[in-house]
Amino acid sequence: MSPFTMTRTLPVDTTTAALREDVTDGLTRTPKRLPPKWFYDARGSELFEEITRLSEYYPTRAEREILIARAAEIADATGARTLVELGSGSSEKTHHLIRALPDLRAYVPVDVSESALELAGRALLTEHPELTVHAMVADFMNGLTLPDTPGPRLLAFLGGTIGNLLPSERAEFFTAVSSLLSPGDALLLGTDLVKDEATLVAAYDDAQGVTAAFNKNVLAVLNRELGADFNPADFDHLAVWNAEEEWIEMRLRARKELTAKIPSMDLAIHFAAGEEVRTEVSAKFREKKVRTELAAAGLESRRWWTDAQGRFALSLAVRT
């Protein structure tokens, strides 16, 4: 087998069709909303990488701290021969795991971006030529089937991305993951933890305005991909802590009454002055909540690690 293979399970036109569906569903309802996956075009990915280096944005540093400190323990607990990374992106943090897994034979990055998979996969093979990289252009929320690689397998879902899913979506995700695991396999899950409101809001509303640019970039995506005529300057970025749900909401608020047109969809979207569209939910967790949600899907949490300040957690779970 070639050391690098790419499998596509998403039709080429899936992205545009899904974007149209999300715009129709999300921007014609009250209150308006869009899913956060549309942030991540090339420019959005650049902006997010910049966000991860900001002093206010602690999750990336905190998770990296845990991975570096606990990688050997993760390796001992799993004995993984295949590492599957869901939503792999640049695979940057995964290097810490790969270096610590002595029996690793295969790496399976799963992402919707073919270019990101190609770049990350080739870079990994430069450092680890002994690996087989089987990249998958796929949506892990929709019927993922993994390639035939040696077990035991470790499925990693890092970065706190689980928080972008609503509770019902998380339940579906954990159930799907449980069905992918065989005896001896494990799930490594990254979760951002509940903490004081000021720290949380600052992480999503930095002083330099990088997160604001990232949030508004979704409008540029709609303009480019659908021929919309949104003016990002007509919207303000907001980050709001929802204490009842224990999640951060990123929103865009119309500065004035306006109508955005999408001729390709024969759609006109009206905004009242001050009307908002929710572009992201980022749930924060407590250990009990993580264990409970995993258990509901037949997954038993075996290990729980946090960074030194208790801001972020990695948990290791197995199918019961």
Q: What is the pLDDT of residues 102-120, one digit of tens each?
A: 999 999 988 877 777 787 7
Confidence of residue 46 (pLDDT cuts 50, 70, 90): confident
The residue whose two tokens read 């449980």 is: 178
Q: Which domains are present in the chain?
A: 57-195+285-319 (3.40.50.150)
Mean pLDDT of the chain: 92
The span from the CA of 144 to the CA of 9, in Å, is 9
Confidence of residue 50 (pLDDT cuts 50, 70, 90): very high
The predicted-structure confidence for 4-39, as pLDDT tens digits, reads as follows 887 877 665 667 888 999 999 999 999 999 999 898
Give backbone dihedrals phi and psi of 273, rounded to 5 degrees, phi first: -60, 130
> Of the given ranges (129-143, 189-203, 220-234), which has the lowest mean pLDDT?
129-143
The predicted-structure confidence for 201-227, as pLDDT tens digits, reads as follows 999 999 999 999 999 999 999 999 999
Q: What is the pTM of this model?
A: 0.92
The CA distances from residue 313 to 71, 139, 144, 233, 245, in Å, are: 13, 25, 25, 37, 19
Residue 70 has pLDDT above 90, yes or no: yes
Give backbone dihedrals phi and psi of 9, rounded to 5 degrees, phi first: -110, 0
Counting other chains too, the contacts that 100-105 makes at CB distance below 8 Å and 24 or more residues apart are: 100/71, 100/72, 100/74, 100/75, 101/75, 101/154, 102/75, 103/79, 104/80, 104/131, 105/81, 105/130, 105/131, 105/132, 105/149, 105/150
The span from the CA of 314 to the CA of 320, in Å, is 19
Residue 82 has pLDDT above 90, yes or no: yes
Q: Hey, what's the torsion of the CAs at 79, 84, 87, 91, to 10 degrees?
A: 70
pLDDT above 70 covers a percentage of the chain that reads 97
Give backbone dihedrals phi and psi of 148, rounded to 5 degrees, phi first: -80, 95
User: What pLDDT does 12 receive?
Assistant: 58
User: What pLDDT does 175 receive?
Assistant: 95
